[in-house]
Amino acid sequence: MTFPRRILLVNGPNLNLLGSREPEVYGTATLADVERLTAEAAAAEGFEIRAIQSNHEGVLIDAIHAAREDCAGIVINPGGLTHTSVALRDALTGVSLPFAEVHISNVYAREEFRHHSYLHDVAAVRVIGEGVAGYANAVRQLAALIP
């Protein structure tokens, strides 16, 4: 079986504010910077990136469903949906694509409610607290898992 050489990059709620939202927590890189960094890392591994960001859970779920048609894996920073969304978890497990869960900040060093992830036990890769460089790390680790 051949796999497409594409990875879906999913950024959840409020990540469109990267660069201006709480720079002491998330840094000054913008979402465009993240997408560029991720695309460069993917290209080095022989993949292309299709990126989506939405503040709406259903839009993210629809993109994940569509990924099963032409993507080999998913890199996702679900933002606050990490801690609340069974539906997002179900979408990710339902498409049967390996995925990497990414968090820019160290969620375990923050508020207690951020310590729980609905994705932690089903993610093929988890990258936490590496800043935006974590996206490139996630791509490299995920690419190594894709035939």
Q: Which of 56, 65, 103, 115 is catalytic?
A: 103
Q: What is the pLDDT of residues 131-140, one digit of tens each?
A: 999 999 999 9
**Which comes out higher in pLDDT, residue 70 or 116?**
70
Q: What is the pLDDT of residues 59-75, one digit of tens each?
A: 999 999 999 999 999 99
Q: Which of 26, 56, 65, 135 is catalytic?
A: 26
Can you give the pLDDT at residue 26? 84
Can you give the pLDDT at residue 23? 84
- Domains of the chain, first to last: 6-145 (3.40.50.9100)
Share of the chain above pLDDT 90, in %: 82
User: Does the active-site annotation cover 135?
Assistant: no
33 is in an annotated binding site: no
Q: Map the chain to HEC letters.
A: CCCCCEEEEEECCCHHHCCCCCHHHHCCCCHHHHHHHHHHHHHHCCCEEEEEECCCHHHHHHHHHHHHHHCCEEEEECHHHHHCCHHHHHHHHHCCCCEEEEECCCHHHCCHHHHCCCCCCCCCEEEECCCCHHHHHHHHHHHHHCC
User: Does the active-site annotation cover 108?
Assistant: no
